[in-house]
Amino acid sequence: MAVISFSDEQSDKARHALGLGRQKVAYRNHYACYEADPDWEDLVKRGFATKRTSAISPDIIYHVSEEARHFFTNIGESIGDDVRFPKANTPPNRPTRRALKEMTDERSLHRLR
């Protein structure tokens, strides 16, 4: 049986992504960085997190995976019902900036006709 372990930094960052610390119920699931973060990249590689680029900025957004969520909660803490966990390698359910622009351009063309 394989032993699953995380560095203190990985645990702290994952808990921060979930909004845990002062709160006892996780209320979010995101961690934004200007550039790739080695701790998060390891979590992504091992399947404990997902990664995407922001639709509105050049930031990299990391999310704790659903499979890993319980590794980062302590006794007495829980995950809120409205916290989302993206599937690995699945884009979020919102259009990108380019897609929004294309939709807007397409609508504008229809109005001109």
Residue 54 structural domain = 8-112
Given this model, what pLDDT does residue 54 score?
Answer: 86
Given this model, what pLDDT does residue 98 score?
Answer: 61
Residue 3 lies in a domain: no
CB of 19 closer than 8 Å to CB of 28: yes
Residue 58 lies in a domain: yes
Q: What is the pTM of this model?
A: 0.73
Q: How far is residue 20's CA from residue 1's CA, in Å, rounded to a whole number?
A: 29
Domain total in the chain: 1
Residue 64 lies in a domain: yes
Q: With a cut of 70, which residues of the chain have pLDDT below it?
A: 1, 88-113
Q: Note the pLDDT tens digit of each residue in 85-104.
A: 877 654 444 555 665 566 55
Distance in angstroms between the alpha carbons of the first and the last residue of the chain: 65
Residue 16 lies in a domain: yes
Residue 85 lies in a domain: yes
